[in-house]
Amino acid sequence: MPATPTPYRRLTRDSAGVGTYSSLWLAADHLMIVRSTGYHESYSRVQLSDVKAIFLTKSARRIWWGVAWGVIAAPAGIVLGIGLTGREPPIFSTIFFLIGVAGLIWNHLLGAGCRAYVLTGVQTAELTSLVRINKARKVIAQLQPLLAQAQADLTLPRAVPTSGSAPETEGLTVVRSPAAAAPPSESTTPAAGAPDATPPPVG
């Protein structure tokens, strides 16, 4: 029986965690975070139209992997160095040293570690498979036009001028230019997850 076609496109390869691995997939209108143990998969969907922002924070992933590869390479390198003075170079130490050095180089080329979080109106979900800043930026660059398209029908708050006062913006704090002869408006900044200001009703 042929494989079942799926509407999902893979954005990231599997990223290993503790006992599980996660990946990020893209459908026409939503992102899917897949967490798998190899025998069971769980799915978390994030609608593209609900994505308010993405946070990227630094992590120490590259450092820890550097330490791990260094732990492999350093003792093997020491043994190799000692063995080179002898008649026959130690084979296993050479192999482990080369593996360790290759791992260190690969870890460095992957870039700095990061954690990515997607902010919606009701939650902040971690994109657990985005663990390197270079990959995260590539994925975000892929998503940006899709997010703009998915959110094109949303209404941006409009400044409504009232007589003798500055335009008011709901949900925004706007720094005014010196040319604007108006006092700063009172800004209402709703917390993430709180309902937005009342939009024009749909007729």
Partner 1 sequence: MTSGAELACPKCKRTLGPDSWADAQHGACAGCRADFEFIPFPALHATRAQVIAQTAVLSEESVCFFHAENRAEAICESCGRLLCPVCTVPFGGKKLCPSCIAGSKGSEDPTVARDRVLFDSIALTLAVVPLLIWPFTLITAPAALGLVIYGWNKPNSLVRGRGRARLVIAAVIAAIEIGAWIALGVTWWVRS
Q: How far is the CB of 201 from partner 1 (least distance, A)?
A: 5
Nearer to partner 1, 124 or 165 (CB): 124
- Looking at residue 48, the DSSP 8-state letter turns out to be G
CA 24 to chain centre: 10
Question: Could you give the 3-state DSSP secondary structure of residue 16?
Answer: strand
Per-residue binding string, partner 1, 30-69, x by CB under 8 A, is x-x-x-x-xxxxxx-----xxxxxxxxxx-----------
Would you state the torsion angle of the CA atoms of residues 30, 35, 36, 40, taken in this order, to the nearest 10 degrees?
-80
Nearer to partner 1, 175 or 179 (CB): 175
The yes or no reply on residue 6 touching partner 1 (CB under 8 A) is yes
Nearer to partner 1, 108 or 158 (CB): 158
The yes or no reply on residue 171 touching partner 1 (CB under 8 A) is yes
The yes or no reply on residue 29 touching partner 1 (CB under 8 A) is yes
Among 82, 95, 124, 182, binds partner 1 (CB under 8 A): 124
CA 99 to chain centre: 29
Q: How many residues bind partner 1 (CB under 8 A)?
A: 62
Euclidean distance between CA atoms 65 and 62, whole angstroms: 5
The yes or no reply on residue 168 touching partner 1 (CB under 8 A) is no
Distances in Å between the Cα of 87 and the Cα atoms of 58, 143, 177 are: 47, 58, 77
Residue with tokens 């791990």: 68
Q: How far is the CB of 184 from partner 1 (least distance, A)?
A: 13
Nearer to partner 1, 73 or 133 (CB): 133
CA 36 to chain centre: 18
The yes or no reply on residue 156 touching partner 1 (CB under 8 A) is yes
The yes or no reply on residue 201 touching partner 1 (CB under 8 A) is yes
The angle subtended at Cα 119 by Cα 200 and Cα 42, nearest 5°, is: 120
Distances in Å between the Cα of 6 and the Cα atoms of 22, 23, 195, 200 are: 18, 15, 34, 38
For binding to partner 1 (CB under 8 A), which residues are involved? 1-6, 8, 10, 23, 25, 29-30, 32, 34, 36, 38-43, 49-58, 115, 117, 119, 124, 126, 140, 144, 147-148, 151-152, 154-157, 171-175, 189-192, 196-202
